[in-house]
Amino acid sequence: MKHALLTAALFTSLALASASALANATVGQPAPAFSAVDTSGKTVSLADFKGRHVVLEWVNPGCPFVRKHYDSANMQATQKGATDKGVVWLAINTTATDAGDYLKPAAMAEWMSKQRAAASATLMDSDGKVGRAYGARTTPHMYVINAKGTLVYAGAIDSKASANPADIPSSTNHINVALAESLAGKPVSVASTRPYGCSVKYSSM
Amino acid sequence: MRLLNGTSARLSIQLICLLAAAWLVSPPAALAAGVMVTTPQVRAELVAHAPEGVAAGKPLMLGLKIEHQPKWHTYWKNPGDSGLPTTLDWTLPAGFAAGAIEWPTPQRLPLGPLMNYGFEGTLLLPVRLTVPADFAGDALRVSLRAEWLVCKDVCIPESGEFVMDVPARAASALNGALFAAAEAARPREAPDARAEARIENGALALRVAGLPAAWAGRQLAFLPEDGGVIANAATPAVQWQGAQWSARLPLDEQRSASPERMTAVLTTPGEPAGLRVSFAVQGPWPTVAPLPALAAVQPAPASTTPPMGLALALLLALAGGALLNLMPCVFPVLSLKVLGFARHAHDRRAVFAGGLAYTLGVVLSFVALAALMLALRASGEQLGWGFQLQSPAFVAALAALFTLIGLNLAGLFEVGSVLPASWASARARHPLADSALTGVLAVAVASPCTAPFMGASLGLAVTLPTAQALAIFGALGLGMALPYLAASAWPQLARALPRPGPWLATFRSLMAFPMFATVVWLIWVVGQQVGIDGAAALLATLVALAFVAWALGNPSLGLRARTGLGTLALLVLGASLVWALPSLRSDAQAAPTVGSASGSTSSSADARWQPWSAARVAEATAAGRPVFVDFTAAWCVTCQFNKRTVLADARVLADFDARRVLLLRADWTRRDADISAELSRLGRSGVPVYALYAPAGGSTSGAASAAPRILAEILGVDEVRAALAALP
């Protein structure tokens, strides 16, 4: 009986644990729907962009890996290349309000414009809902959703995991490749890579 | 010699003091690269251990010692959900080779819903050097460029350049204790440990046997050396069985690697060194590309009945087994047993012994069937409970058996006349074996009728270790035999039965009719599986079989008649088998599914149902339509009952229409790997299963659409309507 209770307890705790864990987003499945407020106070939903490709970029200006891609203008170039093709680019900041590197929406908007970012909108997700739905672990962590609403890529922005901007020219930009393939109607060849960067600072629930 | 005059002396002294002070306060880093690099977060130092100097064949180790400020950490070779491992880039003279970092046992570093693996406090990353045979210098010059990511809540990538000269003919053993401690903290290879792993339902099912006895029963943590495979932050379901540890490690939903072999370190609190285990991973990795099933890879969807403890499962299995006696599958066999009681009513011990033998037959058959199913599942077959009835040949064989039993009861032939005399007397001499075999027969035909309570029990049973799963099936068998065991044990009941007399022959003939009714049902199942032609072929075979039984077994025929008619009958049977067998093969052309087969019943309800596929469920829920899936099979009586009562009820159908519910039927009459996989994903292993999927979209949490609501196995009109009303 004790063993049975233990098993039951384990299963229950597993069920509970999984409730607070991350992610229901799986590559090849419909991307989870979400809604968040951007830095100018407008509500933006994934459903607003039905029929268009969407790229999600998890960003945190306090992270050296994010700065690696912004200081070298690599991220901005990737953003512009995508938005020029009609792709929607959403930059999402899932940093809890009590984290050391939290930026208020106005400060976040100012940083993005100083960096000359070409994102369509910058969303503030300080309660972590969107991050948890997608299982975002690092900054940067990238997702590509195709026009049918299916998640076709999840993972790192490029192939060299480092904080050194000098590694960028010699690494493969996974987003450029995934978008080129998906916009041409082809299946994405590299659909899932291991993301690298700083941890996303989730709020403790 | 003139002394310096006072002023210039003062100035000189001041100058010398100034220079000295400047030299004293200048930070060490301003000097040329040395053995130490200090940052606000760490102090990193290049250290060496050469107790016998530097010479070929002598031990030589180098290492990077990192002392972290409190709460700051660096990462392991697999950093986990984020972070980067420390890298060491050596520059050595020609002929020297540096080995890989001999990482100490790391710690788990949780951060909210994420998990990393790394080190805090004082860390030494040792590296073994090989000295070339021709080394003859005075000292070994070592240069190192190290890069590390040090994090607390923010992350700072840092690096250091180090240079050191290790003397060749003097001992460098000041750091001996440090290197010894690092060696002691290294994960040990466990020589007796045998580990195997399998992919099962979106998780890595790992079993490690042969762990050290001191570790048995302790809480273990699993730290994989290969990243991007398992969900690092998920809590695995673990279990100890003696010295064997099993764990179900959920896979990362955004998995980026599918390795054939994995290595991991098992740690336990209180042991400085972990155990390193290596294992092959069996079983196909779920594709990262479009999967047939929706939703979370977590073991049990939140809305289904929560998995229960073993004792509760056994209890429910017992109750379910008892209920099986009421199922029309079992009822005809029930009649055989009742006849047995009537025959032996005055011999109490024989009756009780018969009851025990029957119980044994039932329990052992259930366990054997379960063992067969588990063994086949282990070898990769997509099976569920009731799998034996998915084979038309098996169903046909059952129909033949029941026809013979019915004809025997009706008096067409006597078994004693058909079988050789030795067999007949063997049956009489061994009534216990007879009872046991009756039990086996009862199980063979009862198993697919999943009664209420059985569904969840079975779903749990197939996920448990073999011994527990078999115990549950044994409990099911015990429940089924319990009424008879009880009846055979209490003489009151036996005495209550009337003594044998002419009524017995009438009763016996009466019992033939439930048998024939079961045959009709089995022929219908075969018809569903292989079409009307196959069913007709089976009917012809049954007629030929009846002819054989009459010709050989009718006691009123003389020997010559019996021989002549018997031969003719056997020829006819042979001919019919030649016709029937090809159409009963499992891969014969199956009848068109639900749509047209039930079109013949011209029920308006059936036209609403479409064939199931996981993609259709996903499409419909994404488009905002709820989906109701009926997992059914022709040989499942409960399913047919529900289909013709609740699912055909006008009020329920009206509710379905009002909410634009997409009605899908998953027909499991024949083997179907996709349906089997979906059933096991829902935590069930047999039919019926009724799943109601709410539409996706609108809500911010994508999880709402993922887990369906599972309804009871015997549906009620109110229950279905309430479930529909609860949809968003």
Cβ-Cβ contacts under 8 Å, A13 against chain B: 235
For B40-77, give the DSSP string: SSEEEEEEEEBTT-S-TTS--EEEEEEEEPTT-BEEEE
pLDDT in tens, B633-643: 877 777 888 88
Residue B306 has pLDDT above 60, yes or no: no
Q: Which residues of chain A make contact with B306, given a CB cutoff of 8 A?
A: 11-12, 15
Between B249 and B518, where is the model more confident? B249
Contact A38, A123 (CB under 8 A): yes
Q: Please give the mean pLDDT across all residues of chain A.
A: 88
Instruction: Give the per-residue pLDDT at B506.
Output: 79
Task: Report pLDDT for B157.
Answer: 92
Q: Provide, as residue numbers in chain B, all residues whose Cβ is less than 8 Å from the Cβ of A24.
A: 253, 295-296, 702-703, 706
Among residues A200, A197, A150, A199, which one has the least CA distance to residue A178? Answer: A150
CATH code of the domain occupying A2-199 = 3.40.30.10
Q: What is the pLDDT of residue B725?
A: 87
Higher pLDDT pick, B365 / B594: B365
Round to the nearest angstrom and report the end-to-end CA distance of chain A. Answer: 34
Residue A136, pLDDT score = 95
Across the range B309-338, mean pLDDT stands at: 71
Query: Is a pLDDT exceeding 80 seen at residue A75?
Result: yes
Q: Do B84 and A162 lie within an 8 Å CB cutoff? A: yes
Q: Give the residue from B582, B685, B586, B587 showing the smallest Cα distance to B636.
A: B685
Q: Is the pLDDT of residue B509 over 90?
A: no
Would you state the pLDDT for residue A193? 94
Task: Read off the pLDDT of each residue in B404-419 and give the average, rounded to a whole number.
Answer: 73
Compute the radius of gyration of chain B from its Cα atoms. 38
Distance from the Cα of A84 to chain B's closest Cα (Å) equals 28
Residue type, B10: R
- pLDDT value, residue B416: 55
pLDDT range class, residue B497, cuts 50, 70, 90: low
Flag if B82 and A138 touch (Cβ within 8 Å).
yes
Structure tokens at B117: 């693996």
Min Cα distance B451 → chain A (Å) is 23
- In degrees rounded to 5, what are phi and psi of residue B593? -70, -165
Q: Do A21 and B231 touch (CB under 8 A)?
A: yes
DSSP string, B328-358: TTTHHHHHHHHHHHHHTTT-HHHHHHHHHHH
- Selecting from A11, A17, A63 the residue whose C-beta is nearest the C-beta of B155 gives A63
Cα dihedral sign, A59-A65-A67-A71: negative
Contacts of A202 in chain B (CB under 8 A): 112-114
Written as one string, the DSSP assignment of B515-538 is HHHHHHHHHHHHHHHH-HHHHHHH
Amino acid at B367: V
Write down the pLDDT at residue A63.
Answer: 94
Distance CA B121, CA B392 (A): 68
Segment among A160-164, B116-120, B507-511 with least mean pLDDT: B507-511
At B131, the amino acid letter reads: V
pLDDT of amino acid B498:
55
Indicate yes or no: CB of B702 within 8 angstroms of CB of A33. Answer: yes
* pLDDT-above-70 percentage for chain B: 77
Q: Among B157, B296, B299, whose Cβ lies nearest the Cβ of A163?
A: B157
Q: Are B104 and B182 in contact (CB under 8 A)?
A: yes
Q: Which residue of B has its CA nearest to A19?
A: B302
Confidence band for B600, pLDDT divided at 50, 70 and 90: very low
> Of A93-102, A172-181, B478-487, B655-664, where does mean pLDDT reach its minimum?
B478-487
Instruction: Give me the residue spans of the domains in chain A.
Output: 2-199
Interchain contact, B114 vs A200, CB within 8 Å = yes
Band of pLDDT at residue B75, cut at 50, 70 and 90: very high
Q: What pLDDT is attached to residue B495?
A: 56
Q: Each residue of A23-33: pLDDT tens digit? A: 678 899 999 99
Q: Write the CB contacts of B518 (distance below 8 Å, at least 6 apart in sequence).
A: B328, B329, B332, B402, B445
Q: How far apart are CA B516 and CA B519, in angstroms?
A: 5
* Average of per-residue pLDDT across B445-466: 57
**CA–CA distance, A194 with A140 (Å, rounded to integer):** 11
- Cross-chain Cβ contact B153/A12 below 8 Å: no
Q: If you count residue pairs, one on A and one on B, with CB atoms under 8 Å apart, how many are there?
A: 179
- pLDDT at position B80 is 93
Predicted complex ipTM exceeds 0.90:
no
Mean pLDDT of B152-156: 88
Q: What's the rounded mean pLDDT across residues A53-69?
A: 96
pLDDT tens by residue, B245-295: 999 999 988 888 889 899 999 999 988 899 999 999 987 887 654 332 323
Q: What is the pLDDT of residue B602?
A: 40
Q: Give the pLDDT mean for B585-589.
A: 54
Which of A100-104, B235-239, B497-501, B593-597 is the least confident region? B593-597
Confidence grade of residue A134 (pLDDT, cut at 50, 70, 90): very high
Q: What is the mean pLDDT of chain B?
A: 79
Most confident range (mean pLDDT) of B52-66, B580-594, B680-694 is B52-66
Distance from CA of B515 to the nearest CA of A (A): 41
Q: Give the three-state DSSP class for B697.
A: coil
**Is pLDDT of B455 > 60?**
no
Whether B300 sits inside 8 A of A15 (CB atoms) is yes
| Rounded CA Rg of chain A | 18
Q: Which one has a higher pLDDT value, B573 or B10? A: B573
B116 contacts on A by Cβ (under 8 Å): 199
Partners of B279 in the β-ladder: B262
> A96 CB contacts (<8 Å, ≥6 apart)?
A102, A126, A128, A201, A202, A203, A204
Q: Which residues of B touch A8 (CB under 8 A)?
A: 307-309, 312
Predicted pLDDT at B391: 79
Residue A11 has pLDDT above 50, yes or no: no
pLDDT at B254: 86
Report the pLDDT value the prediction gives residue B614, as an integer from 0 to 100.
Answer: 84
